[in-house]
Chain A
Amino acid sequence: MADTVTAIGRVNIKRRLLDPWNLPIVIFILSFLLFLIYPILSVVKASLIDVSGSTISFASYVKFFTKAYYYRALVNTLLLGLFGTIGIMIIDIPLAYFYTRYRIYGQVAVGTALWIPYLTPAFIGAYTWLILFGKFGLVTLLFKNIGIMIPTIGGFGGVLIVFILSYYPLGFILLTGAFQTIDPTLEEAAHNLGASDIRRFWTVTLPSATPSILNAALMVFILIIDSFGIPAIIGVGTPVLTTLVYGEFTSELGGPPVMASTGATILLTISMTILVIQRVYLRKRSFVTSGTRKPVPVNPRPLKKLFLSFIFFIVLIVSLLPIVTIVISSFTKADGPVLQYGHFTLDHYRETFYAIVKPLKNSYFLATTSMILDLVLGSLLGYVIVRKGKRLATFIDAFSALPLGIPGVLLGIGLILAFSHKPMVLIGTGWILIVAYFVRRLPHPVRTVSAILSQVNPNVEEASVNLGVPPIRTFFRVTSRMIMPGIISGGLLAWTASVADLTCTILIFSAKWKTLTVETFAQIRSDLYGPASVVGIFLLLSVLIPIFIVNIFTRVKESS
Chain B
Amino acid sequence: MSGVGVRIENLTKRFGSVTAVDDLSLEIKPGELFTLLGPSGCGKTTLLRTIAGFYYQDAGAIYFNDRRIDGIPPYRRDTGMVFQSYAVFPFMNVYDNIAYGLKARRVNRDEIRRRVLDAIELVRLTGMEKRRPDQLSGGQQQRVAVARAVVIEPSVLLMDEPLSNLDAKLRVGMRVDIKRLQKKLGITMIYVTHDQEEALAISDRIAVMSKGKIVQIGSPWEIYHNPANAYVADFIGVTNFFRCPVERVGKEGTTIEFQGKRLTVPGILGRDVNEVMASIRPEAMQIISVEGESVGSDGITGISETSSDERDKSLFSFSAEVYDSTYLGSVLSIIAKVPDGTEIQISIANPRREGLIGEGKKIEIGFSPGDLIIFPVGEEINGMRLNKQQRAL
Give A contacts to B, CB under 8 Å.
1, 4-5, 8-9, 11-12, 15, 457, 459-460, 462-471, 474, 478, 481-482
Contacts and interface: CB of A to CB of B under 8 A. Distances in A.
A11 B149 CA distance: 30
B87 A465 contact: no
A366 to B, nearest CB: 33
A411 B73 CA distance: 45
A465 B91 CA distance: 17
A15 B152 contact: no
Interface in B101-160: 101, 104-105, 145, 148-149, 152
B85 A457 contact: yes
B52 interface: yes
A-B pairs, 5 with minimum CB distance = A467-B101, A459-B87, A468-B104, A459-B83, A463-B87
B91 A4 contact: no
Given A462-B87, A467-B101, A8 B59 contact: yes
B81 A469 contact: no
Contacts of B100: 464, 467, 469
Nearest to A15: B56
B54 interface: yes
Contacts of A468: 75-76, 78, 101, 104-105, 152
B63 interface: no
B74 interface: yes
Given A5-B59, A457-B87, 13 more contacts: A12-B58, A15-B56, A459-B86, A460-B89, A462-B87, A463-B81, A466-B79, A466-B149, A467-B75, A467-B149, A468-B104, A469-B100, A469-B104
Contact of B89 (A9, A12, A464): A464
A474 to B, nearest CB: 8
Nearest to A9: B58
Chief secondary structure at chain B's binding surface: loop
Contacts of A481: 89, 91
B57 interface: yes
Given A9-B58, A12-B58, A470 B73 contact: yes
B54 A462 contact: yes
A466 to B, nearest CB: 4
Contact of B74 (A5, A9, A466): A466
14 contacts: A11-B56, A457-B83, A460-B85, A460-B89, A462-B83, A463-B89, A465-B75, A466-B52, A466-B81, A467-B101, A467-B148, A467-B149, A471-B75, A474-B75
B85 A459 contact: yes
Contacts of B270: none
A402 B285 CA distance: 68
B80 interface: yes
Contacts of B75: 465-471, 474
Contacts of B52: 462, 466
B299 to A, nearest CB: 50
A482 B91 CA distance: 8
B378 interface: no
Given A466-B80, A467-B152, A8 B87 contact: no
Contacts of B148: 463, 467
Given A462-B87, A468-B76, A482-B90, A12 B56 contact: yes
Question: Size range of the interface on B?
Answer: 20 to 34
Interface in B193-233: none
A380 B295 CA distance: 77
A11 B56 CA distance: 10
Contacts of A11: 56
Nearest to A481: B91
Chief secondary structure at chain A's binding surface: helix
A426 to B, nearest CB: 41
Contacts of A467: 75, 80, 100-101, 104, 148-149, 152
Contacts of A463: 81, 83, 87-89, 145, 148
A481 B100 CA distance: 15
A9 B58 CA distance: 6
Contacts, number: 79
Contacts of A459: 83-87
A367 B104 CA distance: 37
Contacts of B58: 5, 8-9, 12
A5 B12 CA distance: 10
A460 to B, nearest CB: 5
Contacts of A457: 83, 85, 87
A470 B77 CA distance: 11
Nearest to B152: A467
A482 B79 CA distance: 24
A9, A462, A471, A474 pick with most chain B CB within 10 angstroms: A462
Contacts of A482: 90-91
A1 B75 CA distance: 28
Interface string B236-279: 00000000000000000000000000000000000000000000
Contacts of A464: 89, 100
Contact of A460 (B73, B87, B149): B87
A15 B149 CA distance: 27
A235 B322 CA distance: 85
B33 to A, nearest CB: 19
A21 to B, nearest CB: 15
Contacts of A462: 52, 54, 74, 81, 83, 87
A457 to B, nearest CB: 5
B59 A465 contact: no
A121 B129 CA distance: 49
Nearest to A462: B54
A127 B88 CA distance: 52
A4 B76 contact: no
Contacts of B86: 459
A478 to B, nearest CB: 6
Contact of B57 (A8, A465, A469): A8
Contacts of A9: 58
A482 B92 CA distance: 11
A474 B77 CA distance: 16
A464 B148 CA distance: 10
A461 to B, nearest CB: 8
A479 to B, nearest CB: 11
A90 B254 CA distance: 82
Nearest to B79: A466
A251 to B, nearest CB: 57
A474 B104 CA distance: 11
A457 B90 CA distance: 11
A559 to B, nearest CB: 14
B174 to A, nearest CB: 18
Contacts of B74: 462, 465-466
B347 to A, nearest CB: 38
Contacts of B85: 457, 459-460
Contacts of B145: 463
A454 to B, nearest CB: 14
A141 B54 CA distance: 73
B251 to A, nearest CB: 43
Contacts of B54: 462, 465
Nearest to B52: A466
Contacts of A12: 56, 58
Contacts of B104: 467-469
A15 B53 CA distance: 13
B104 to A, nearest CB: 4
Interface string B48-82: 00001010111100000000000001111111110
A15 B57 CA distance: 12
A481 B92 CA distance: 10
Contacts of B149: 466-467
Contacts of B90: 460, 482
A303 B338 CA distance: 71
A90 B89 CA distance: 46
B132 to A, nearest CB: 11
Contacts of A460: 85, 87-90
Contacts of A5: 58-59
A468 B105 CA distance: 7
A460 B56 CA distance: 20
